[in-house]
């Protein structure tokens, strides 16, 4: 079955960097766009970024552009989210999600998430 | 940027029908997806492309979309349906992926 597993979260000081990882299995990983979506504690969902199936296309939420890098290694079925200059408002659970690739950006499978806490 | 508006809370008795709305400017011209998030769990897709039901989602879940409102309908509501529900679209004009603020469904 389709499985996505995030890792790399933890407590980090403001201004520092963190790299999150997303491991996919149970499907042809290199066929699918992968997204990152975050959820601050007690709040709603916010789309963060995506990377296309071959890594050739990526995009970021406007409020986060410039502080993020997304990459993938299809030989390892992995996607990475590099977050720089972290702020307290970046504290959230970060989910990776598979795109159904119908052209309408639907998230058909989600990981369980990894918690990032930005605090001194 | 494109904004999706959901009621913060919806309450319904067991066995009744729950209706959760998602409002947006000319949302009927976009494809709307709905996610259920139970407490402490990741979101799960329950309706995609306005009215399609993914594999494993009960027929009790259905969706519609027209004009300025998309609607998620859950018939014969059960205790296990209690969760937060989020609508989501891709706004092609701004190229933004947008979520609604979420609606907490309470089963009385």
* Weakly modelled stretches of chain A, pLDDT under 50: none
Residue of A39, A94, A106 for testing the chain B interface, max B β-carbons within 10 Å: A106
B47 with B34: CB under 8 angstroms? Answer: yes
B90:A95 CB<8 A: no
Burial group, residue A95, by CB count within 10 angstroms (0-12, 13-18, 19+): buried
- Collapse the DSSP code of A83 into the 3-class scheme (helix H, G, I; strand E, B; otherwise coil) and give the result: strand
B90:A104 CB<8 A: yes
Distances (CA, A) of B24 to A28, B1, B85, B92, B96: 35, 11, 16, 14, 14
Tell me the C-alpha distance between A71 and A6, whole Å: 14
Name the DSSP class of B9.
E
Residue B85, chain A, CB below 8 Å: the answer is: no
What is the gyration radius of the CA atoms in chain B, in angstroms? Answer: 13
Q: Provide the pLDDT for residue A103.
A: 80
**Cβ partners under 8 Å of residue A119, min gap 6:** A11, A12, A13, A14, A88, A91
Question: What is chain B's pLDDT, residue by residue, as a tens digit (108 residues)?
Answer: 899 999 999 999 999 999 999 999 999 999 999 999 999 999 999 999 999 999 999 999 999 999 999 999 999 999 999 999 999 999 888 888 999 999 999 999
């Amino acid at each position: 079955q389709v499985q996505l597993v995030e890792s790399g979260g933890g407590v980090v000081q403001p201004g520092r960097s963190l790299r999150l990882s997303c491991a996919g299995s149970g499907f042809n990983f290199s066929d699918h766009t992968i997204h990152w979506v975050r959820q601050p504690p007690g709040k709603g969902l916010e789309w963060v970024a995506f990377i296309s199936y071959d890594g050739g296309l990526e995009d970021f939420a406007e409020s986060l552009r410039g502080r993020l890098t997304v990459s993938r290694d299809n030989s390892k079925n992995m996607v990475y989210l590099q977050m720089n200059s972290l702020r307290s408002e970046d504290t959230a659970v970060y989910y990776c999600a598979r795109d159904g690739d119908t052209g309408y950006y639907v998230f058909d499978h989600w990981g369980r998430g990894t918690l990032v806490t930005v605090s001194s | 940027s494109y904004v999706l508006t959901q009621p913060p809370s919806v309450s319904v008795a067991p066995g009744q029908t729950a209706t959760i709305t998602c409002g947006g400017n000319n949302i009927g011209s976009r494809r709307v997806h709905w996610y259920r998030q139970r407490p402490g769990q990741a979101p799960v897709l329950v309706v995609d492309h306005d009215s399609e039901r993914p594999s494993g989602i009960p027929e009790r879940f259905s969706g519609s979309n027209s004009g300025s409102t998309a609607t998620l309908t859950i018939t014969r509501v059960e205790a296990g349906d209690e969760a937060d529900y989020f609508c989501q679209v891709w706004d092609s004009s701004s190229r933004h992926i947008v979520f609604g603020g979420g609606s907490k469904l309470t089963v009385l």
